[in-house]
């Protein structure tokens, strides 16, 4: 049975099941929960008008991530034309994440937030969402080798930022 958006029940369920992953990716892209919600809404609106393009796909995430990525790039281009870069800043969170019980997890999430946008995107898409390198390359519009090198550099940077950098072995000198 088709609903208001022209989707049958299975398509609606498939689309709804991807929303949490899409929200995670939007948060990585925007670094702001309100902008992320707007991005997810815009992405879903665009996807609903184009669902006929992907009815045969089993995994909608790469397609939706591509839409979100391109919408975000378009937004930043518009903002950059309107506001000089010096005037743009990322808002601080409204409250500390006091509910996170483990300090290591808190350190890791803070380190993740300090990564570059490219590194955060690749780590999320490969490490959290479990997408293959080829799918990530298509989402970001870069070669597979670039995805692999960004992922390697992102992992190293995250490791260093989290305070797990390799320390030289010190020898006692007599």
φ, ψ at 8 (rounded to 5°): -85, 175
Take residue 117 and report the two structure tokens written for it: 């946008």
Task: Write down the pTM of the prediction.
Answer: 0.60
Q: How confident is the model at residue 6 (pLDDT cuts 50, 70, 90)?
A: low
Average of per-residue pLDDT values in the chain: 79
∠ Cα 98 100 105 (to 5°): 125
Residue 28 pLDDT greater than 60, yes or no: yes
pLDDT digits (tens, 9 = 90+) for 48-101: 888 888 777 788 899 999 999 999 888 877 766 665 544 444 445 544 555 544
Q: Where are the domains of the chain?
A: 1-89, 100-164
pLDDT digits (tens, 9 = 90+) for 152-163: 999 888 888 877
The CATH fold assigned to 1-89 is: Rna Polymerase Sigma Factor; Chain: A (1.10.1740)
The CATH fold assigned to 100-164 is: Arc Repressor Mutant, subunit A (1.10.10)
């Amino acid at each position: 049975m088709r609903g208001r958006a022209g989707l049958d029940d299975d398509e609606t369920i498939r689309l709804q099941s991807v929303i949490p992953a899409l929200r995670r990716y939007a948060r990585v892209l925007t670094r702001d929960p309100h902008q992320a919600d707007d991005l997810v809404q815009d992405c879903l609106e665009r996807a609903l008008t184009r669902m006929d393009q992907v009815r045969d796909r089993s995994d909608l995430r790469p397609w939706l991530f591509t839409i979100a990525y391109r919408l975000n790039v378009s937004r930043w281009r518009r903002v950059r034309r309107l506001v000089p870069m010096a005037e743009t800043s990322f808002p601080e969170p409204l409250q500390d994440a006091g509910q996170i019980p483990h300090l290591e997890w808190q350190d890791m999430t803070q380190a993740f937030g300090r990564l570059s946008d490219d590194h955060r995107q690749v780590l999320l898409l490969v490490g959290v969402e479990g997408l293959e390198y080829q799918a990530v390359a298509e989402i970001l519009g870069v070669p597979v080798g670039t995805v692999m090198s960004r992922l390697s550099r992102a992992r190293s940077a995250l490791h260093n930022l989290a305070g797990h950098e390799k320390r030289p072995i010190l020898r006692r000198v007599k």
